[in-house]
Amino acid sequence: MSPTFALLGLLAVSVPLCNGKIYEDPNEIPSLDSYDYVIVGGGLTGSVVASRLTENSNTSVLLLEAGGSHQGVYYIEVPGLQNFTGPGTIYNWNYTSVPQVNLLNNTIPAPRGHVLGGSSSINGMWYTRGSSADYDRWANVTGDQGWLWDELQTYFEKSESFTSPVDGHNTSGQYDPTLHGTQGPLQVTVGGYSQSLDQLVMGRLDEQFPFIEDYDDGEPIGFGWTQTTIGNGSRSSAATAYLDNYLNRTNLDIAVNSLVTRISASNGSSIDTVTLTANGIPINVRARVEVLLAAGVFNTPHILLNSGIGDATELSAMNIPVVHNLPSVGKNLTEQPAVSNLWNTSSPVPAAEAEAAYEQALAQWNSTRTGRMVLAISNTVGFARMNMSNLEVEALVEQYGELAPGPASPHFELLPTVNAFDAEANFANAEFIFDTVNLVPYSRGTVTLDPTNLMGDPLIDYNFYSAPQDILVMRQAILGALSFVSTPDWQEFLADPVSPLFAAVVGEYPNVSNTTMDAYIRASTTISFHAVGSCSMSPAGADWGVVDPDFHVKGVKGLRIIDTSIMPFAPAGHSQAAAYVIAERAADIIKASN
Q: Is residue 509 scored above 60 in pLDDT?
A: yes
For residue 106, tell me if it sits in a domain. Answer: no
* More confident call, 366 vs 390: 366
- Residue 289's pLDDT is 98
- Residue 491's pLDDT is 96
- Residue 199's pLDDT is 94
Sign of CA dihedral 121, 127, 132, 134: negative
Q: Is residue 467 scored above 50 in pLDDT?
A: yes
Nearest to 123 by CA among 155, 160, 91, 97: 91
Share of the chain above pLDDT 70, in %: 95
d(CA 536, CA 301): 11
- 532-550 pLDDT, tens digit per residue, is 999 999 999 999 999 999 9
For residue 375, tell me if it sits in a domain. Answer: yes
For residue 390, tell me if it sits in a domain. Answer: yes
Average pLDDT of span 124-135:
97
For residue 503, tell me if it sits in a domain. Answer: yes
Q: Is there a contact between 120 and 44 (Cβ–Cβ < 8 Å)? A: yes
Query: Which band of pLDDT confidence, cut at 50, 70 and 90, is reported for residue 280?
Result: confident
Q: Is residue 325 scored above 60 in pLDDT?
A: yes
**Residues of the binding site for FAD:** 115, 260
Provide the Cα torsion 246, 251, 252, 258; round to 10°. 170
Q: Is residue 111 scored above 50 in pLDDT?
A: yes
For residue 419, tell me if it sits in a domain. Answer: yes
- Residue 427's pLDDT is 46
CATH at residue 227:
3.30.560.10
Number of independent structural domains in the chain: 1
**Would you list the DSSP string of 398-443?**
HHH--SSSSTTS-SEEEEEEEE-SSSHHHHHH-EEEEEEEESS---
Distance of CA 201 to the CA centre of its chain: 25
Query: Which band of pLDDT confidence, cut at 50, 70 and 90, is reported for residue 376?
Result: confident
Share of the chain above pLDDT 90, in %: 88
* More confident call, 559 vs 278: 559
Reported pTM: 0.95
Query: Which band of pLDDT confidence, cut at 50, 70 and 90, is reported for residue 420?
Result: low
Average pLDDT of span 287-306:
98
What is the amino acid identity at position 4?
T
- Residue 422's pLDDT is 42
- Residue 9's pLDDT is 40
Q: Minimum mean pLDDT among 230-239, 339-348, 351-360: which range? A: 351-360
Nearest to 15 by CA among 84, 78, 92, 79: 78
Q: Is residue 13 scored above 50 in pLDDT?
A: no
Query: Which band of pLDDT confidence, cut at 50, 70 and 90, is reported for residue 429?
Result: low
Q: What's the burial of 268, exposed, middle or buried (CB within 10 Å: 0-12/13-18/19+)?
A: exposed
- Residue 291's pLDDT is 98
3-state secondary structure of 211: strand
Q: Is residue 18 scored above 60 in pLDDT?
A: no
Provide the residue range defining the domain that includes 215.
Answer: 162-233+334-527
Query: Which band of pLDDT confidence, cut at 50, 70 and 90, is reported for residue 415?
Result: very high
Q: Is residue 245 scored above 60 in pLDDT?
A: yes
Q: Minimum mean pLDDT among 5-19, 435-449, 529-543: which range? A: 5-19
- 268-277 pLDDT, tens digit per residue, is 889 999 999 9
For residue 78, tell me if it sits in a domain. Answer: no
**Residues of the binding site:** 115, 260
Query: What are residue 109's phi and psi, to 5 degrees?
Result: -60, 150
Q: What's the burial of 168, exposed, middle or buried (CB within 10 Å: 0-12/13-18/19+)?
A: exposed
> In whole numbers, what is the pLDDT of the chain averaged over residues?
93
Q: Active-site residues: which are they?
A: 530, 574
For residue 498, tell me if it sits in a domain. Answer: yes
Average pLDDT of span 453-475:
97
d(CA 386, CA 355): 41
For residue 592, tell me if it sits in a domain. Answer: no
